[in-house]
Amino acid sequence: MTHLVHPVSKGICSQYDADRLESEQRRTFLRNSALFTGAALTASAFSAAPASAAKLAVSQSNKEMGREIEPEAYGMPSKFESHVKRRRTDVLKNKQHWSDWSMTPIHQQPGIVTPNGLFYERHHAGTPDINPDEHALVIHGMVKQPLKFSMNDLMRYRAVSNFNFMECSGNTLTDWQQAKATTVQQSHGLLSCAQWTGVPVSTLLDEAGLDPAAKWVLFEGADGSAHARSVPIEKCMTDTVLAYAMNGEMLRPENGYPLRAFMPGWEGNVCVKWLRRIKVSDKPWHLRSETARYTDPMPDGKWRQFSMIMECKSVITRPSGGMMLQGPGTYEIEGFAWSGNGSVKAVDVTTDGGVTWHQADLEGPVLDRCLTRFRHTWEWKGGPAKIASRAVDSTNYVQPTVADIAKQRFTSGFVQHHNGIFPWSVSENGEVKNAIA
Ligand SMILES: Nc1nc2c(c(=O)[nH]1)N[C@H]1C(S)=C(S)[C@@H](COP(=O)(O)O)O[C@H]1N2
Ligand SMILES: [Mo]
């Protein structure tokens, strides 16, 4: 008989989770209660323990009053989940606290929504603390009537709410030619997904009255870097939102409170935080962030500018780097797929290094320019294996390998827009490692 092992039999989140294993001792009671739940939920496919072993003693918490409630506080996650947090990369060493990346633990995220406290962060000059009562947004340049809005003004307009991923164009950039990141949080954690609420910028541009010659729009932030980007007018008139809320609450200061630009499917860098100014023009500005940075080197020595779209990509989040498989048996391979050009049409999974591919199941909802979960059940026989996923989007674009990308553009050094297929190796003893090269 195959030795069946399933995540729910050893811990609620993941039996492979290194962070969780570290502090396993403290959590014996949690594991015991999970054992029962797991067996009950998955009895047919993954019996965790025979019914006789699941005899449930009355727990101590049944015999006493619980902790006093805090009826008027902001709710926080369980103290037993404190290992689930954003992290810096281990690959790049950083000695200051103003410009950095703070990465989402995507391997610990069930469903498609990233909680606000775990949403990735990228700052160029720290976080300003802006009082919304004093904040103003100005629209000027090639418009009939320049306009100035307070936050109260903005919140009187009809808002939209959409689920969309956001990804930094630098996501995965440490791992083009060599395996550097040890976990999927480090290799793919500049990626998150939220329901964004705000006012379509087209509403405000229409009100200001666009000059017929208008072609580009500047978005500028109120932070110490005065971060700014030029965006084509078409993107503004179709789906750009001036977001003030995500996942049902106002933005956190770190994500741009009280107002940011959000451009579905485009690189995080154009989603200017702490937005204070929108200027309309007939040409782009060619700012530092559009010449020295956020451009892509091409083989002919030229640099590609304004490569805003985050193309179709996917990654297996479980099992992934740093995890351990606990012996041969049935494993649920899962991960995320997404595309800045539309929705995810299909995801294939290989467990033999790309010799054969199997179509994975997509977990609903499958939304436009949104994280989409995929799942594939795998019988691990115990030998060395190489697992990877490959996504196809609604335009029929197929996620490329790094070798495919290298045929079109430069891929060594800290180059952006790495959407290549990302393999993990599984060794005979169950250790999972980055296998990009
Ligand atoms: N004003 C301002 N906007 C900004 C940035 C910044 O440093 N300042 N960083 C950009 C980058 S590179 C990214 S990837 C996203 C990150 O947004 P987040 O921190 O909410 O995840 O914001 C963009 N907008
Ligand atoms: Mo970014």
Nearest CA to ligand 1 atom 18: 121
Among 134, 88, 85, residue whose Cα is nearest residue 114: 85
Counting from 1 in the atom list of ligand 1, the atom nearest the Cα of 256 is: 20
What DSSP state is assigned to residue 110?
-
Domain 313-434 belongs in CATH node 3.40.50.2020: no
Share of the chain above pLDDT 90, in %: 81
* Closest residue by CA, ligand 1 atom 12: 269
Contact indicator for 10, 2 with CB cutoff of 8 Å: no
Ligand 1 atom index nearest CA of 124: 7
The amino acid at 365: P
Query: Is the beta carbon of 277 within 6 A of some atom in ligand 1?
Result: no
The DSSP-derived string for 383-426 is S-EEEEEEEEETT--BPPPHHHHHTTS--SSS-S-------EEE
Average pLDDT for 344-364 = 98
Q: Which residue has the tokens 């160029």?
A: 124
Could you tell me if 401 and 386 are in contact, meaning their C-beta atoms sit under 8 angstroms apart?
A: no
- Spacing, Cα 61 to ligand 1 middle (Å): 44
Residues 6+ apart with CB under 8 A from 141: 214, 218, 279, 280, 281
Can you give the pLDDT at residue 51?
66
β-bridge mates for residue 164, sequence order: 194
Query: Quick one: which of 38, 34, 60 has its CA closest to 48?
Result: 38
pLDDT at site 300? 87
- Ligand of minimum distance to the alpha carbon of 219: 1
SS3 for 247? Answer: coil
User: Would you place residue 45 in the very low, low, confident or very high pLDDT band (cuts 50, 70, 90)?
Assistant: very low
Checking 54-59 for CB contacts under 8 A at 24+ apart, the result is: 59/29, 59/33
pLDDT of 263 = 98
Query: Is the CB–ligand 1 distance for residue 121 below 6 Å?
Result: yes
For 186-226, write each residue's pLDDT tens digit.
999 999 999 999 999 999 999 999 999 999 999 999 999 99
Identity of the amino acid at 182: T
Q: Which CATH architecture has domain 111-176+191-304?
A: Alpha-Beta Complex (3.90)
**Tens digit of pLDDT for each residue in 388-434?**
999 999 999 999 999 999 999 998 878 999 999 999 999 999 999 99
Q: What is the pLDDT of residue 437?
A: 87
pLDDT band (50, 70, 90) for residue 230: very high
Other CB atoms within a 10 A radius of the CB of residue 346 amount to: 16
Tokens of 291: 């010449």
**Cα 269 to averaged position of ligand 1 atoms, centre (Å):** 5
**What's the alpha-carbon Rg for the chain, to the nearest Å?**
24
Instruction: Show me where the domains of the chain are located.
Output: 111-176+191-304, 313-434
Distance, in Å, from the CA atom of 35 to the CA atom of 396, rounded to the nearest integer, reads: 42
Of 269, 287, 288, 416, the residue with max ligand 1 atoms within 8 A of its CB, to mutate for a pocket test, comes to 269
User: Can you tell me the distance from the alpha carbon of 210 to that of 215, in angstroms, rounded to the nearest whole number?
Assistant: 10
338: phi then psi, degrees, rounded to nearest 5: -160, 160
Q: Which of 23-27, 90-94, 363-367 has the lowest mean pLDDT?
A: 23-27
**Residue at 3: amino acid letter:** H
